[in-house]
Structure 1
Amino acid sequence: MADTMQFDLVAPERNLMSVSVREVRLPGENGDLSAMPGHAPAIVNLRPGLVTVIDEQGSEHQFAISGGFAEINNESLSLLAEIGRKKEEMDQDAFDEMMRAAERKKKAAEAEEQKHGAEEVVASAAKLLADMEALGTQIGLYKYSSDSSN
């Protein structure tokens, strides 16, 4: 078994990282997980949170994502983030953009619920918003109240 695997992190605006890695820690929708070389194939939905990458030299890199998904196999991990930034590039404006996107999804889900009774959609959107708040708290940028307006 190899000691490293290929890791690619892509966000809509750019490719954030493409390197050989020892380990990637992911904020999975159903719980956090680590992927290492030889990992069983999986596709994982991601919630907002920090992705931690340990490169082949043992250096740690962190990225804040607003969600997305990861495709894992024994030789590679490809992560497609809805919105992603290097942790050190996260500032209040970038976090605010991520929060506004989560708030829009929640409002759209609430409107859908009123039309079609889709409670599970609202619950999912509320969880997304709560996960964004947790991410902001973790990186020191959360400043919203639950009734903030856009």
Structure 2
Amino acid sequence: MAENIRLEIVTPDKSVVSEDVQIVVGPGTLGEFGILRGHTPFLTTLNMGTVRYKDAGGAERQIFISGGFAEALPDKVTILAESAERRRDIDIDRARSALARAQKRLEEAQKEKLDYARAKAALDRALHRIKVASSKGQ
């Protein structure tokens, strides 16, 4: 069995995860990446999406992030996220309401030349949060 690697996920407001894990998989802007202990150091930007990891006991965990940066070192992964939520902390009803609002805004943006990029980002954020909240595991 491979050794564990330290995972730190922090936002400007709080520390979301600080634990030893078996593997980390994240949504890099150049594609999804996976990190095990002993990985070659690198730094990357992150897309909005899901950080998945297996905790030291082998349970799969998921964290929604809305972008940021990841630094991989041989014994530690640090994710600096704009925002991050554990699956259990996502209010799925609130996320569904946000999805409906975002869909309406997106339709209006197309008709009235409003801020399309902002409306699309809100839609993507709601979809990712619902996906994480609806997934199996923890």
TM exceeding 0.5: yes
**Which has a greater percent of strand?**
2
| Contact 2:25 2:35 (8 Å CA) reproduced | yes
TM-score by length of 2: 0.70
User: What does residue 51 of structure 1 align with?
Assistant: 51
User: What does residue 41 of structure 2 align with?
Assistant: 41
1: CA distance, partners of 2:78 / 2:95: 23
| Contact 1:9 1:18 (8 Å CA) reproduced | yes
The structure, 1 or 2, with the larger RCO (C-alpha pairs under 8 Å, 6+ apart) is 2
User: What does residue 116 of structure 1 align with?
Assistant: none
| SS of equivalent residue, structure 2 residue 28 | coil
Task: Say whether residues 1:68 and 2:61 are aligned partners.
Answer: no
TM-score by length of 1: 0.65
Q: Structure 1's 12 and 70: CA in aligned 2 closer, same or farther, altered over 3 A?
A: same
| SS of equivalent residue, structure 2 residue 128 | helix
Q: Which runs of 5+ in 1 are unaligned?
A: 111-121, 142-150
For residues 81-106 of structure 1, what are the alpha-carbon distances to aligned partners after superposition, in whole Å with 9 as ceiling and x for unaligned? 1011101211244684xx98xx9xxx
| SS of equivalent residue, structure 2 residue 51 | strand
1: CA distance, partners of 2:85 / 2:60: 15
Cα drift, residue 129 of structure 1 = 5.8
Task: Say whether residues 1:10 and 2:3 are aligned partners.
Answer: no
The worse-fitting range, judged by mean Cα deviation, of 65-74 and 85-94 is 85-94
Count of residues paired in the alignment: 121
For residues 86-131 of structure 1, what are the alpha-carbon distances to aligned partners after superposition, in whole Å with 9 as ceiling and x for unaligned? 01211244684xx98xx9xxx9xx9xxxxxxxxxxx98x7985675
Identity of aligned residues (%): 29
Amino acid at match of 1:132: R
2: CA distance, partners of 1:136 / 1:41: 29
User: What does residue 32 of structure 1 align with?
Assistant: 32
Give the counterpart of 2:131 among 134, 138, 150: 138
Q: Which runs of 5+ in 2 are unaligned?
A: none
| Contact 2:4 2:37 (8 Å CA) reproduced | yes
| Contact 2:63 2:132 (8 Å CA) reproduced | no
2: CA distance, partners of 1:23 / 1:126: 34
